[in-house]
Structure formats: C-alpha cells, structure tokens
Amino acid sequence: MSSGKVIAFFPEAAFGPALNSVGIAQACEKLGHKAVFLTDPGMAGVYAGYGFEEHMVNMSEPMEPEAMAKYWSDFINGHIPNFNKSPHDQIDNYVKECWEAIVETAIWAQKDLPGVLDRVKPDVICVDNVILFPAIKQYGKPWVRIISCSENEFPDPDIPPHLSGCGENDKACFEAYTTRFNAMVKPTHDRFNEFLAECNEAPYPLGEFFEASPHLNLLLYPEPAKFNRRNPLDPARFQYLEGCVRQDEPYEVPQFKANNDKPLLYVSFGSLGSGDTDLLKRLMKAIAGLPYRALFNVGDYMDAYDDVPDNVHIHSWYPQPSVIPQVDAVIHHGGNNSFTECLYFGKPAIIMPYVWDGHDNATRVQETGHGFKMHRGDWTDAELAGNLETMVTDKAMQAKLAATSKHMQARHGPTKAAELLDKLARG
C-alpha cells in the first residue's frame, strides 16, 4: 500500500450512483489503492457496508439519517401523480423542484468540502453528480466526472436533450423540451451562477450546471446503445465503461407455490419507486394470470401486500447483480444501474419510466432493440403479456442482447475505470 494512492469518490446521495462508485472502488483497491467515500449523512453506512471509509459532507441542513430518508421518500411519493406525465409536462413540477434542491446541495456542500478534502488528502477525486462542486475543481488534484445517468448528460446538437425522453431523430421534441426547460430553470440557474461567482468560478450558460473534467470523464453508458453525435467525444478525455456492475452477495431463487417451471421475471422500480404500491399491485395482478414466476422488489412497503399471488415472491431488497443473471426478463423504472445491468447480462427489459433519465433509457432500450418502453400507467394487460412473450421468445432480440452482453463483459467497466484512475493518480 506504500505506493498506493488515495482515490476519493463523491457520488450523488442516491443508490444508483452510490453503487456504481462501489464497483469502481472495489476494482481500485485490487490495484493497491485506498478508496474512500465522501457522502451525505443520509447515505451513511452504505459504503461502510462494503468495507470503505466514509467522510461526511452535509448537503442540506443537518438532520438525522431517518429524517433525511423520510424527506426524500415523501418528496418522491408526493410527486407520484406527476409520474404519469410526459417528460415535457414534468418540467414545471418534478424537474424544476429537483434542480432547486440540487443547487441547494451544492451550496451546502461547499461549507464542508474544503475541510474534508484537507483531511482526506486524495490524489484523485471522482464526482458522480449532475452539478459542479467548486471545492473539488479548485482542490489542486485531478478530478474525474462520472456519468451514471444517460450519455446525453454531455449534450450534442444531434442527440436528445438530457431528461427529455425524445427519440433520437425527433428534432421538434428536442427544441420544445429545451425551450421549456430553460424557461423553467432560469431562476434556479441564476441562483447557481451567483454561487459560482462567490466561489470565483465563471458562470455557466443557461441550462448547464456542470462541465466536463479536463482530466477524465467516465460514462457508464454501454457503447452498443450510445448515440450518434455530431461532435464525437474525445477518447483521450471521455471513456465508456460499459456499466459498472459491482460484486454483491449471491442469491438463490426461492421455490414458488406455482409456475416453478416457468420463465422468471424480476420487477423493481428502485428504492424510491417502490413507494408506488398501486403500480406494483397492478403488475402482480396481471402477472398472476400469466405463465411466469416473478420476484418483486417492494422496498420498505412489505406491509402493503397482504394478497401476494402464488407465482410472485416479494422482498424489501434483492442483490440485483446476483439476481438479474438468473432471470429471463426484467421490468424496471429505467434507472441507469438497472438499464446497464440488464444489458451487461443480456436480459431484455420493459422500462416503465417515472422521471429523470428513466425517460431517456426507456426510449433508448426500444430504439436499439433491447426491450420495450411502456407508459407506467397507460397500458393494458394484453400489451404487457405481448411484450413479455416477445422478450422471452424473440430470437432476434435475444441475439442482439447476447452480442451486447458479450461486448460489455469483455471490457468490464470497473476494471477499465480503475486502470484509468491508476494512470491518472500516478501522473
């Protein structure tokens, strides 16, 4: 370890970015480096559970972890009525409120970050977030931007705007979304530029809250699904990781009361999406009459289910990277972990997006022939049954998924990321 470097990870306070960074950190430690995590107290214990050192950075007014978790749970659950809206119609409510909260996290983090960095003394800092933290840019060591969300977080005139869910050739959708987004976020963006000026940073153009790192940018997005850019990303600074599937505990599929010889499905809308119990119950009822078994991630809402079908198993949490290889198809919300893990293991997916990059990933999974995009509320049992049947029987889709899986697994994102960080850390 004497020749090892300290590599600090600062993911967004959400499980998707957090667990992606865990995968990279595990690979960095295999190369002899020390990986540490900077984290909001609301995520305390997540990284320690994987054996990593944690350093707290308050990203909001300090509160107990349980209160913080409840705040975000209430925030998501309060927006459930907005989840049925189009990406364009979510700008005025969910998207605008998210950016207001995100800007406040950056302002709060600036209070703690300089002191935390001085204490940790990292040789490289990896940031997986959607907003700039000036203290990290100004620390004097190489910093790396990790993109857990859709690739279009780095914009280009020929690809859909981030969060828009537009088809890759729908330029009218591009323009309508960007125009509305910029109008709605302008007050928040002005507030952020004021903060940047206080930190002696130049203002960002309207609609932008972050920049590419001059050192290295790591995109978890898989190349088989990437967009065709007018201005290709420079491989000297931008590298695709093909996902970052972490090592997790093994999982043994349970015995079901019915359909034990039938194809296995996995249904998960993430830790926060599990609050949408009405949708999960509707899916259970539909799948109860179909020739499948299904594992349902219901999060903290186990008590909400008192009539579980015989071909369904529910749990508050599954070790997803150990589950997906064993299933035949997945239904999820379009989070980037679920999106890339399905492709990594060659599993077709139905994406029922709620918000954020779920819309982009849902559109992309259908455009590239790796699964289907379905509205989370406006669907019929027949549509669900038809898409599931296609996913488990269609040879062309299975061949495409097999090729994508082979491509991704041949490159192993965490190992690639660790090697790039090793090179950067050693100068």
H or E segment to which residue 264 belongs: strand 264-268
Residue 2 has pLDDT above 70, yes or no: no
- Model pLDDT for residues 37-93, shown as the tens digit of each residue: 999 988 889 999 999 999 999 998 877 767 766 776 777 778 878 889 999 999 999
Distance CA 31, CA 418 (A): 8
Class for the domain spanning 6-242+412-425: alpha beta
Class for the domain spanning 264-410: alpha beta
- Model pLDDT for residues 110-122, shown as the tens digit of each residue: 999 999 999 999 9
- pLDDT confidence of residue 182: 98
Spatial neighbors of 48 by CB under 8 A, at least 6 apart, are: 54
User: What confidence category does residue 295 fall into, taking pLDDT thresholds of 50, 70 and 90?
Assistant: very high
Average pLDDT over residues 334-341: 91
Percent of the chain with pLDDT strictly greater than 70: 98
Of 204, 200, 177, 178, nearest to 191 by C-alpha is 204
- pLDDT confidence of residue 69: 67
- Domains of the chain by residue range: 6-242+412-425, 264-410
- pLDDT confidence of residue 193: 98
Average pLDDT of the chain is 94
- Residue by residue, DSSP assigns 177-231 as HHHHHHHHHHHHHHHHHHHHHHTT-PPPPTT------SSEEEE-S-GGG----SS
- Model pLDDT for residues 77-91, shown as the tens digit of each residue: 788 788 899 999 999
Which pTM does this prediction carry? 0.91
Average pLDDT over residues 246-269: 94
User: What confidence category does residue 247 fall into, taking pLDDT thresholds of 50, 70 and 90?
Assistant: confident
Answer for the pair 135, 119: CB distance below 8 angstroms, yes or no. no
Percent of the chain with pLDDT strictly greater than 90: 83
6-242+412-425 and 264-410 share one fold: yes
Distance CA 190, CA 205 (A): 10
